Amino acid sequence: MNSKSPKNKLKQKDYINISDLTFEQALSSLEEIVEELDGGDIDLEKAIKAYEKGALLRDYCKKMLAEAQERIDKIEIKDNGNYSIKPMDDIKD
């Protein structure tokens, strides 16, 4: 069996705590799960576990994106040299 198959990747990553992952790592793991499930060459129990982990990864990625959006600010420099920071929601084009 090829050591680079999605089955092996998923098996190796099952032990990882999702909250320790970066957004990019979580997204990559989610993509691997989707590929594995799309391949259809997985037994039912493994498919269920992969789906459950994928749902957790999806929720984690959504949470991280929402947190990142909250942190995006616009810095405005005033004529006197002072500046203010406005959340993106307050910015009008």
Percent of the chain topping pLDDT 70: 74
pLDDT at 44: 94
Q: Please count the structural domains in the chain.
A: 1
3-state helix/strand/coil string of the chain: CCCCCHHHHHHHHCCCCHHHCCHHHHHHHHHHHHHHHHHCCCCHHHHHHHHHHHHHHHHHHHHHHHHHHHHCEEEEECCCCCEEEEEHHHCCC
Q: 55 is in which domain, residue-wise? A: 6-90
Q: Is the pLDDT of residue 72 over 80?
A: no
| 52 in a structural domain | yes
What's residue 1's pLDDT?
41
Other beta carbons less than 10 A from residue 32's beta carbon: 18
pTM for the model stands at 0.63
Whether residue 67 contacts residue 77, with contact meaning beta carbons closer than 8 Å, is answered with no
The answer to whether position 1 is within a domain reads no
> Could you report the per-residue pLDDT of 25-61, keeping only the tens digit for each?
999 999 999 999 999 899 999 999 999 999 999 999 9
